[in-house]
Structure 1
Amino acid sequence: MKTSQDNATQRQEFGRRLRELRRDKNWTLAEVAERSGLAISTISKAERGLIALTYDRLAQLADGLGTDLAAFFGDSGETFTPGSFAVARRGEFKRQETENYVYEMLFPDLWNKGMRPMMGSLKARAFVDFDEFVRHPGQEFLIVMDGAVTVFAEGRDPVHLQAGDSIYFDSAIGHLYASDGDRDARILVVCVPG
């Protein structure tokens, strides 16, 4: 089980990589904010390891910096090319923990993937645990591995999923996932960038 110290270390490492990527381009926080659409304060807090970013903000930041999302989790990686074949063993992932989600980014050393697979845990128990809907370009697939999940989608009725159930949707629609019950749910999510 990860401790708050582990989470702080993960956030600081992420912040170091983000600052390094920004400085490699000789860009200011304001320039990254303009290109990504994120607030300067959000980028600054992420660089200082004070906050962890949700997937939608990670994707915005990667697009704004003109880099692969995997660059936030490692200094280098191999580019996925036609004919490539990769295996991820249990425990081979990069962790990103937010207030409501624990993301386990699979194949973090494989860049330019056509899809972004991640396992994770849902800590949120209800829609009210969130400040706002998550939305990002592309398509999204979710399957519940353990527990039960409610998927909230903007303008739609909540969808309740049990272990083995799945959903596929346009991820530009505002959406949130929350665990049903008294324990974290385990999920597999695959995002296809738009």
Structure 2
Amino acid sequence: MTKDLQQDSQRIAFGRRIRRLRSEQNWTLSDLSERSGLAISTISKAERGIIALTYDRLSQLAKGLGVDMSAFFTDTGVGFEPGSFAVARKGEFERQETQNYVYEMLFTDLWNKSMRPMMGTLKARELYQFEDFVRHPGQEFLFVLDGEVTVYLDGRDAVKLRQGDSIYFDSTIGHLYASNGDDDARILVVCESLNAGRGVTPEP
């Protein structure tokens, strides 16, 4: 399967999960739009596999549906219990690719986490390549694994990071990440999950 076909297949499968979760609530697109704050057209395009949603829109959609974000990537999961632990081996992640980012979502089978860890690849090079800043409730940590990264913060000076550098910030501030070099940069990102412990109960 070519890369383009793989991306199409991932978006279509992702869209089917969104549609199923909405249908289980007996909601129309308008109902979900009202609850999530996302435009009807955005939800419709995501359900049909036309577009892939960025992290902030995924977060809005999960909140609107009352589910853990992991429900978009896997049908079943287990809730994280106090005193427990989980291990993710190399290559164990769920991929979500947008125009500017590739998200590698870790521990998607572990629901109701206090944190959402993910690896990422930055494809974008310039600020103009983005439609708008990303913003969502909580706090965020970024660590540069490879390459050089510019972190754009709405209303603030851009922050340049090199391999081994990191940043921690309030993610309600509009923010964007871009690669500084000719090659894609690799990052580790951890976002606070304010909805931990809420939403659907994962199946055993």
TM-score (norm 2): 0.94
Report the Cα distance in structure 1 between the residues aligned to 2:45 and 2:159, rounded to whole angstroms. 34
Query: Which position in structure 2 is the counterpart of 1:132?
Result: 132
Q: CA deviation at 1:2?
A: 6.8
Higher RCO (C-alpha 8 Å, min separation 6): 2
Query: Which position in structure 2 is the counterpart of 1:29?
Result: 29
Query: Which position in structure 1 is the counterpart of 2:181?
Result: 181
Matched to 2:137, the amino acid is P
Q: Per residue, is there more strand in 1 or in 2? A: 1
Q: CA deviation at 1:83?
A: 1.2
Q: 1:99 to 1:62 in 2, by over 3 A?
A: same
Matched to 2:5, the amino acid is Q
Q: CA deviation at 1:81?
A: 1.1
Query: Which position in structure 1 is the counterpart of 2:10?
Result: 10
Which stretches in structure 1 are left out of the alignment for 5+ residues? Answer: none
Which stretches in structure 2 are left out of the alignment for 5+ residues? Answer: 195-204
Q: Deviations over 1:134-178 (max 9, x none)?
A: 000000000000000000001110000000000000000000000
Report the Cα distance in structure 1 between the residues aligned to 2:6 and 2:65, rounded to whole angstroms. 27
Report the Cα distance in structure 1 between the residues aligned to 2:176 and 2:193, rounded to whole angstroms. 17
Report the Cα distance in structure 2 between the residues aligned to 1:135 and 1:62, rounded to whole angstroms. 15
Matched to 1:116, the amino acid is R
Q: CA deviation at 1:45?
A: 0.3
2:57 matched to 1:57? Answer: yes
Q: Is the 8 A contact 2:151 2:178 kept in 1?
A: yes
C-alpha RMSD over aligned residues: 1.0
Q: CA deviation at 1:41?
A: 0.4
Q: Is the 8 A contact 2:144 2:188 kept in 1?
A: yes
**Number of paired residues?**
194
